Amino acid sequence: MITRFKRLTLVKVRIPDDNLNSEVQWFSESFGLFSQRDKDKSCFRLFIALLQAKRPMSSNELAYKLNLSRATVIHHLNKLISCGLIIIEGNKYILREKNLELSLKRIKEDLISTFEEMEAEAKRIDKKLKN
């Protein structure tokens, strides 16, 4: 199970009106999950499918459900795993925690831990440089 992100992009985006679809899209955009190349919003559709999933799903199941190629699904799954939202259980994929709020809290903990490690290393570097 992957519990630490590799790359996380945060984008400050205006919060939308009270509409579930717009709110999920805002969340995805805030996480930098969209690119100009994703014309059919396949990453967004995949993210919604995983948010709604009651059980881990394979890449083949997701591809079939969303009418996407398995390669496209794998590409977007890697992005969702890399930012810490999705984990792998066996050979299947699921939201990191039981809901989006808890998933985000775990990512925040990862960020804080990463910054603490960086601060400690910066202190060691400064000491070596006698700063």
Domains in the chain: boundaries:
20-129
At CB < 8 A and 24+ separation, what contacts does 32-39 make?
Answer: 32/8, 32/83, 33/79, 33/80, 33/83
Average pLDDT of every residue of the chain: 88
Check: pTM over 0.85? Answer yes or no: no
Q: State which fold the 20-129 domain adopts.
A: Arc Repressor Mutant, subunit A (1.10.10)
- Predicted local confidence at residue 6, as pLDDT: 76
Instruction: State pLDDT tens for residues 47-92.
Output: 999 999 989 999 999 999 999 999 999 999 998 998 889 999 999 9
Is residue 93 pLDDT above 80, yes or no? yes
What pLDDT shows up at residue 22? 84
* Nearest in space to 50 (alpha carbons), one of 107, 100, 8: 100
Q: What is the secondary structure of 3-35 as a DSSP string? A: -S-S-----------S-HHHHHHHHHHHTT---
